[in-house]
Structure 1
Protein backbone atom coordinates (compact mmCIF):
# COMPACT_ATOMS: atom_id res chain seq x y z
CA UNK A 1 0.00 0.00 0.00
CA UNK A 2 2.84 2.37 0.80
CA UNK A 3 4.39 1.76 -2.66
CA UNK A 4 1.06 2.63 -4.26
CA UNK A 5 0.92 5.91 -2.32
CA UNK A 6 4.48 6.78 -3.32
CA UNK A 7 3.71 6.05 -6.99
CA UNK A 8 0.63 8.26 -6.85
CA UNK A 9 2.56 11.37 -5.75
CA UNK A 10 4.09 12.12 -9.19
CA UNK A 11 0.78 11.44 -10.92
CA UNK A 12 -1.14 13.81 -8.65
CA UNK A 13 1.61 16.43 -8.96
CA UNK A 14 1.52 16.20 -12.76
CA UNK A 15 -2.26 16.54 -12.91
CA UNK A 16 -2.48 19.43 -10.47
CA UNK A 17 0.71 21.22 -11.54
CA UNK A 18 0.60 24.81 -12.72
CA UNK A 19 2.74 24.45 -15.84
CA UNK A 20 0.80 23.46 -18.89
CA UNK A 21 -0.50 24.51 -22.25
CA UNK A 22 -1.76 28.08 -22.37
CA UNK A 23 -4.18 29.08 -25.09
CA UNK A 24 -4.01 32.66 -26.28
CA UNK A 25 -7.28 33.63 -27.93
CA UNK A 26 -6.66 36.30 -30.56
CA UNK A 27 -9.02 38.53 -32.52
CA UNK A 28 -7.63 41.07 -34.99
CA UNK A 29 -9.03 43.37 -37.64
CA UNK A 30 -7.09 45.59 -40.01
CA UNK A 31 -8.56 48.65 -41.66
CA UNK A 32 -7.20 50.88 -44.42
CA UNK A 33 -3.49 51.08 -45.14
CA UNK A 34 -1.40 52.82 -42.53
CA UNK A 35 0.10 56.18 -43.53
CA UNK A 36 3.54 55.96 -45.13
CA UNK A 37 4.95 57.83 -42.16
CA UNK A 38 4.23 55.51 -39.27
CA UNK A 39 4.02 58.14 -36.55
CA UNK A 40 1.96 57.41 -33.46
CA UNK A 41 1.23 58.64 -29.99
CA UNK A 42 -0.43 57.08 -27.00
CA UNK A 43 -3.39 58.85 -25.50
CA UNK A 44 -2.27 61.90 -23.53
CA UNK A 45 -3.86 60.57 -20.36
CA UNK A 46 -3.39 56.86 -19.90
CA UNK A 47 -6.69 55.01 -19.93
CA UNK A 48 -5.47 53.17 -16.87
CA UNK A 49 -2.73 54.04 -14.44
CA UNK A 50 -1.29 50.91 -12.93
CA UNK A 51 2.18 49.33 -13.03
CA UNK A 52 0.84 46.58 -15.33
CA UNK A 53 -0.62 49.15 -17.72
CA UNK A 54 2.67 51.09 -17.81
CA UNK A 55 4.52 47.83 -18.55
CA UNK A 56 2.06 47.03 -21.35
CA UNK A 57 2.59 50.47 -22.81
CA UNK A 58 6.39 50.01 -22.82
CA UNK A 59 6.11 46.60 -24.49
CA UNK A 60 3.69 47.94 -27.13
CA UNK A 61 6.08 50.84 -27.82
CA UNK A 62 8.95 48.39 -28.26
CA UNK A 63 7.00 46.22 -30.71
CA UNK A 64 5.85 49.29 -32.69
CA UNK A 65 9.43 50.57 -32.84
CA UNK A 66 10.56 47.19 -34.20
CA UNK A 67 7.95 47.64 -36.96
CA UNK A 68 9.37 51.08 -37.88
CA UNK A 69 6.83 53.20 -36.00
CA UNK A 70 8.01 56.43 -34.40
CA UNK A 71 6.43 57.96 -31.28
CA UNK A 72 5.78 61.72 -31.15
CA UNK A 73 3.45 64.05 -29.25
CA UNK A 74 1.14 65.06 -32.11
CA UNK A 75 0.84 62.07 -34.41
CA UNK A 76 -1.81 61.07 -36.96
CA UNK A 77 -2.17 57.63 -35.34
CA UNK A 78 -3.45 57.35 -31.77
CA UNK A 79 -2.81 54.09 -29.92
CA UNK A 80 -5.29 53.06 -27.23
CA UNK A 81 -4.56 50.22 -24.83
CA UNK A 82 -7.12 48.46 -22.64
CA UNK A 83 -5.98 45.92 -20.09
CA UNK A 84 -8.08 43.63 -17.89
CA UNK A 85 -7.36 41.06 -15.20
CA UNK A 86 -10.73 39.65 -14.18
CA UNK A 87 -12.15 36.49 -12.61
CA UNK A 88 -12.77 34.04 -15.45
CA UNK A 89 -15.94 32.85 -13.72
CA UNK A 90 -17.65 36.06 -14.89
CA UNK A 91 -18.77 36.29 -18.51
CA UNK A 92 -18.25 39.49 -20.51
CA UNK A 93 -21.22 40.57 -22.61
CA UNK A 94 -22.62 43.58 -24.42
CA UNK A 95 -26.22 44.38 -25.29
CA UNK A 96 -29.35 43.12 -23.62
CA UNK A 97 -31.78 40.20 -23.81
CA UNK A 98 -32.15 38.96 -27.41
CA UNK A 99 -29.34 41.24 -28.63
CA UNK A 100 -26.79 39.88 -26.17
CA UNK A 101 -23.27 39.55 -27.58
CA UNK A 102 -20.89 37.34 -25.60
CA UNK A 103 -17.36 38.71 -25.66
CA UNK A 104 -15.94 36.11 -23.28
CA UNK A 105 -17.79 33.12 -21.87
CA UNK A 106 -17.37 32.29 -18.23
CA UNK A 107 -14.82 29.53 -17.74
CA UNK A 108 -15.43 26.49 -15.63
CA UNK A 109 -12.78 25.20 -13.28
CA UNK A 110 -10.79 22.16 -14.47
CA UNK A 111 -10.90 18.88 -12.57
CA UNK A 112 -8.36 18.95 -9.71
CA UNK A 113 -7.53 22.60 -10.38
CA UNK A 114 -6.08 24.20 -7.26
CA UNK A 115 -7.27 27.78 -7.79
CA UNK A 116 -9.77 29.88 -9.72
CA UNK A 117 -8.81 31.08 -13.17
CA UNK A 118 -8.40 34.73 -14.09
CA UNK A 119 -8.57 36.09 -17.59
CA UNK A 120 -5.75 38.37 -18.72
CA UNK A 121 -7.02 40.45 -21.68
CA UNK A 122 -5.31 43.15 -23.74
CA UNK A 123 -6.85 45.23 -26.52
CA UNK A 124 -4.82 47.55 -28.72
CA UNK A 125 -6.58 49.92 -31.11
CA UNK A 126 -4.86 52.22 -33.59
CA UNK A 127 -7.06 55.12 -34.72
CA UNK A 128 -6.76 57.84 -37.37
CA UNK A 129 -7.08 61.01 -35.29
CA UNK A 130 -8.38 63.05 -38.24
CA UNK A 131 -11.56 61.06 -38.89
CA UNK A 132 -11.73 58.51 -36.05
CA UNK A 133 -11.47 55.47 -38.32
CA UNK A 134 -9.66 52.43 -37.01
CA UNK A 135 -6.44 51.41 -38.72
CA UNK A 136 -6.10 48.29 -36.59
CA UNK A 137 -7.60 46.50 -33.63
CA UNK A 138 -6.18 43.48 -31.84
CA UNK A 139 -7.32 41.64 -28.74
CA UNK A 140 -5.54 38.79 -26.99
CA UNK A 141 -6.75 36.91 -23.90
CA UNK A 142 -5.52 34.01 -21.76
CA UNK A 143 -6.79 32.12 -18.72
CA UNK A 144 -4.42 31.68 -15.81
CA UNK A 145 -4.71 30.03 -12.42
CA UNK A 146 -1.28 30.94 -11.04
CA UNK A 147 0.38 33.11 -13.72
CA UNK A 148 0.45 36.87 -13.28
CA UNK A 149 -0.72 39.52 -15.70
CA UNK A 150 2.84 40.83 -15.93
CA UNK A 151 4.04 37.38 -17.07
CA UNK A 152 1.34 37.30 -19.75
CA UNK A 153 1.93 40.78 -21.16
CA UNK A 154 4.72 40.04 -23.69
CA UNK A 155 2.66 37.18 -25.14
CA UNK A 156 -0.55 39.22 -25.19
CA UNK A 157 1.11 42.18 -26.94
CA UNK A 158 2.74 39.93 -29.53
CA UNK A 159 -0.58 38.19 -30.21
CA UNK A 160 -2.67 41.39 -30.30
CA UNK A 161 -0.30 42.98 -32.84
CA UNK A 162 0.20 39.79 -34.88
CA UNK A 163 -1.69 41.07 -37.94
CA UNK A 164 -0.48 44.69 -37.83
CA UNK A 165 0.45 45.88 -41.30
CA UNK A 166 -2.11 43.80 -43.14
CA UNK A 167 -4.59 45.92 -45.08
CA UNK A 168 -8.41 45.69 -45.00
CA UNK A 169 -8.29 42.28 -43.37
CA UNK A 170 -11.68 41.20 -42.06
CA UNK A 171 -11.94 39.98 -38.52
CA UNK A 172 -9.46 37.18 -37.91
CA UNK A 173 -10.00 34.84 -34.97
CA UNK A 174 -7.28 32.38 -34.03
CA UNK A 175 -5.72 30.58 -31.10
CA UNK A 176 -2.06 30.08 -30.21
CA UNK A 177 -0.85 27.50 -27.75
CA UNK A 178 2.29 27.84 -25.67
CA UNK A 179 3.66 26.37 -22.46
CA UNK A 180 4.04 28.37 -19.31
CA UNK A 181 2.49 29.09 -15.94
CA UNK A 182 -1.23 28.50 -16.06
Structure 2
Protein backbone atom coordinates (compact mmCIF):
# COMPACT_ATOMS: atom_id res chain seq x y z
CA UNK A 1 0.00 0.00 0.00
CA UNK A 2 2.85 2.46 0.80
CA UNK A 3 4.41 1.86 -2.63
CA UNK A 4 1.12 2.92 -4.25
CA UNK A 5 1.03 6.16 -2.24
CA UNK A 6 4.69 6.88 -3.02
CA UNK A 7 3.96 6.28 -6.71
CA UNK A 8 1.02 8.72 -6.59
CA UNK A 9 3.17 11.41 -4.95
CA UNK A 10 5.87 10.84 -7.54
CA UNK A 11 3.38 11.13 -10.42
CA UNK A 12 1.80 14.21 -8.86
CA UNK A 13 5.21 15.87 -8.44
CA UNK A 14 6.15 14.99 -12.02
CA UNK A 15 2.88 16.43 -13.33
CA UNK A 16 3.40 19.69 -11.45
CA UNK A 17 6.99 19.90 -12.73
CA UNK A 18 5.83 19.44 -16.33
CA UNK A 19 3.15 22.11 -15.98
CA UNK A 20 5.58 24.60 -14.45
CA UNK A 21 8.25 23.86 -17.06
CA UNK A 22 5.83 24.67 -19.89
CA UNK A 23 6.17 28.38 -19.05
CA UNK A 24 9.69 28.51 -17.67
CA UNK A 25 11.54 26.77 -20.46
CA UNK A 26 14.20 28.38 -22.59
CA UNK A 27 13.55 31.52 -24.58
CA UNK A 28 14.95 31.81 -28.09
CA UNK A 29 16.16 35.24 -29.09
CA UNK A 30 16.39 35.68 -32.86
CA UNK A 31 18.98 38.27 -33.90
CA UNK A 32 19.84 39.81 -37.24
CA UNK A 33 22.63 42.42 -37.31
CA UNK A 34 24.39 44.24 -40.14
CA UNK A 35 26.62 47.26 -40.54
CA UNK A 36 30.18 48.49 -40.64
CA UNK A 37 32.91 46.49 -38.96
CA UNK A 38 35.21 49.43 -38.28
CA UNK A 39 33.14 51.75 -36.13
CA UNK A 40 34.38 54.97 -34.56
CA UNK A 41 32.78 55.99 -31.27
CA UNK A 42 30.83 59.17 -31.92
CA UNK A 43 28.09 61.39 -30.61
CA UNK A 44 24.51 60.37 -31.34
CA UNK A 45 21.05 61.85 -31.16
CA UNK A 46 17.60 60.36 -31.10
CA UNK A 47 14.79 60.05 -28.61
CA UNK A 48 11.22 58.85 -28.42
CA UNK A 49 8.53 61.45 -29.04
CA UNK A 50 6.91 62.87 -25.91
CA UNK A 51 3.63 61.11 -26.70
CA UNK A 52 5.32 57.76 -27.51
CA UNK A 53 4.22 54.65 -25.59
CA UNK A 54 6.06 53.97 -22.31
CA UNK A 55 7.62 50.77 -23.71
CA UNK A 56 9.20 52.65 -26.61
CA UNK A 57 10.51 55.35 -24.26
CA UNK A 58 12.00 52.60 -22.08
CA UNK A 59 13.68 51.03 -25.14
CA UNK A 60 15.21 54.40 -26.13
CA UNK A 61 16.47 54.96 -22.58
CA UNK A 62 18.00 51.48 -22.39
CA UNK A 63 19.64 51.92 -25.82
CA UNK A 64 20.99 55.36 -24.91
CA UNK A 65 22.44 54.07 -21.62
CA UNK A 66 24.00 51.05 -23.36
CA UNK A 67 25.62 53.28 -26.01
CA UNK A 68 26.98 55.64 -23.34
CA UNK A 69 28.50 52.65 -21.52
CA UNK A 70 30.26 51.79 -24.82
CA UNK A 71 31.79 55.27 -25.07
CA UNK A 72 29.23 57.04 -27.27
CA UNK A 73 28.05 60.52 -26.30
CA UNK A 74 24.44 61.70 -26.49
CA UNK A 75 24.15 65.12 -28.13
CA UNK A 76 21.34 67.25 -29.53
CA UNK A 77 23.17 67.47 -32.87
CA UNK A 78 25.08 64.16 -32.79
CA UNK A 79 26.81 62.72 -35.82
CA UNK A 80 24.69 59.56 -35.66
CA UNK A 81 20.93 59.19 -35.55
CA UNK A 82 19.62 56.41 -33.31
CA UNK A 83 16.24 55.01 -34.30
CA UNK A 84 14.36 52.45 -32.22
CA UNK A 85 11.30 50.49 -33.30
CA UNK A 86 9.24 48.25 -31.07
CA UNK A 87 6.39 45.88 -31.74
CA UNK A 88 4.30 43.47 -29.70
CA UNK A 89 1.83 41.23 -31.51
CA UNK A 90 -0.12 38.01 -31.10
CA UNK A 91 2.37 35.32 -32.12
CA UNK A 92 -0.32 33.22 -33.79
CA UNK A 93 -0.41 35.82 -36.60
CA UNK A 94 2.14 35.59 -39.39
CA UNK A 95 3.71 38.71 -40.83
CA UNK A 96 4.15 38.74 -44.58
CA UNK A 97 4.66 41.04 -47.52
CA UNK A 98 2.31 42.21 -50.22
CA UNK A 99 4.85 41.04 -52.81
CA UNK A 100 4.17 37.36 -52.34
CA UNK A 101 4.27 34.37 -50.03
CA UNK A 102 7.47 35.32 -48.22
CA UNK A 103 6.98 35.44 -44.46
CA UNK A 104 8.71 38.15 -42.47
CA UNK A 105 7.75 36.21 -39.37
CA UNK A 106 5.91 32.91 -39.35
CA UNK A 107 3.11 32.21 -36.88
CA UNK A 108 4.26 30.37 -33.75
CA UNK A 109 2.62 27.10 -32.84
CA UNK A 110 1.16 26.62 -29.37
CA UNK A 111 3.33 24.37 -27.14
CA UNK A 112 1.80 21.35 -25.40
CA UNK A 113 0.72 22.18 -21.82
CA UNK A 114 1.04 25.91 -22.51
CA UNK A 115 -1.60 27.80 -20.56
CA UNK A 116 -1.53 31.17 -22.34
CA UNK A 117 -1.15 32.65 -25.80
CA UNK A 118 2.30 33.79 -26.97
CA UNK A 119 3.16 37.31 -27.99
CA UNK A 120 6.08 38.17 -30.21
CA UNK A 121 8.21 41.11 -29.12
CA UNK A 122 10.32 42.71 -31.88
CA UNK A 123 12.94 45.41 -31.32
CA UNK A 124 14.83 47.25 -34.04
CA UNK A 125 17.84 49.52 -33.55
CA UNK A 126 19.31 51.49 -36.44
CA UNK A 127 22.21 53.92 -36.37
CA UNK A 128 22.62 56.17 -39.40
CA UNK A 129 25.40 58.68 -40.08
CA UNK A 130 23.61 62.01 -40.42
CA UNK A 131 26.21 63.63 -42.71
CA UNK A 132 25.77 61.18 -45.60
CA UNK A 133 22.82 58.96 -44.63
CA UNK A 134 24.87 55.75 -44.49
CA UNK A 135 23.44 53.11 -42.20
CA UNK A 136 26.35 52.12 -39.98
CA UNK A 137 24.50 49.57 -37.83
CA UNK A 138 21.18 47.74 -37.83
CA UNK A 139 19.99 45.09 -35.46
CA UNK A 140 16.64 43.31 -35.20
CA UNK A 141 15.84 41.18 -32.15
CA UNK A 142 12.68 39.09 -31.64
CA UNK A 143 11.39 36.83 -28.84
CA UNK A 144 8.19 34.93 -28.06
CA UNK A 145 6.74 35.27 -24.57
CA UNK A 146 3.68 33.83 -22.90
CA UNK A 147 3.89 35.31 -19.41
CA UNK A 148 6.80 37.78 -19.41
CA UNK A 149 5.71 41.38 -20.08
CA UNK A 150 7.52 43.44 -22.70
CA UNK A 151 9.00 45.79 -20.07
CA UNK A 152 10.78 42.82 -18.44
CA UNK A 153 12.09 41.49 -21.76
CA UNK A 154 13.39 44.85 -23.03
CA UNK A 155 16.68 45.09 -21.08
CA UNK A 156 17.92 41.76 -22.46
CA UNK A 157 16.62 42.53 -25.96
CA UNK A 158 18.32 45.97 -26.11
CA UNK A 159 21.60 44.59 -24.78
CA UNK A 160 21.45 41.74 -27.30
CA UNK A 161 20.67 44.18 -30.13
CA UNK A 162 23.80 46.18 -29.33
CA UNK A 163 26.10 43.20 -28.71
CA UNK A 164 27.18 43.09 -32.37
CA UNK A 165 27.84 46.84 -32.65
CA UNK A 166 31.07 47.17 -34.65
CA UNK A 167 31.14 43.44 -35.43
CA UNK A 168 27.82 42.45 -37.04
CA UNK A 169 27.26 38.69 -37.35
CA UNK A 170 24.15 38.39 -39.53
CA UNK A 171 21.28 36.11 -38.45
CA UNK A 172 21.60 33.76 -35.48
CA UNK A 173 19.83 32.46 -32.35
CA UNK A 174 20.60 32.81 -28.66
CA UNK A 175 18.91 30.55 -26.12
CA UNK A 176 18.51 31.54 -22.49
CA UNK A 177 16.64 30.32 -19.44
CA UNK A 178 13.83 32.70 -18.61
CA UNK A 179 10.11 32.77 -17.98
CA UNK A 180 8.37 32.53 -21.31
State TM-score, norm by structure 1. Answer: 0.87
- Structure 1 ranges of 4+ moved more than 4 A: 1-5
Aligned residues: 175
Corresponding residue for 1:178?
Answer: 176
Q: What do the CA deviations read for 1:55-95 (whole angstroms, capped 9, x no partner)?
A: 11111111100110000111121000001111100111223
Q: What do the CA deviations read for 1:22-62 (whole angstroms, capped 9, x no partner)?
A: 1111100013744x45110015x539711111111111111
Q: List runs of 5+ in structure 1 lacking aligned partners.
A: none
1:149 matches 2:154: no
Q: List runs of 5+ in structure 2 lacking aligned partners.
A: none
Task: State which structure, 1 or 2, has the greater radius of gyration over its C-alpha atoms.
Answer: 2
Alpha-carbon RMSD:
2.1
Corresponding residue for 2:134?
Answer: 133
Residue 96 (structure 1) shift: 2.2
State TM-score, norm by structure 2. Answer: 0.88
**Using the alignment, how far apart are the partners of 1:47 and 1:19 within structure 2?**
35
Superposed counterparts of 1:64-75, under 5 Å: 64-75=67-78
Residue 5 (structure 1) shift: 4.5
**Using the alignment, how far apart are the partners of 1:126 and 1:81 within structure 2?**
9
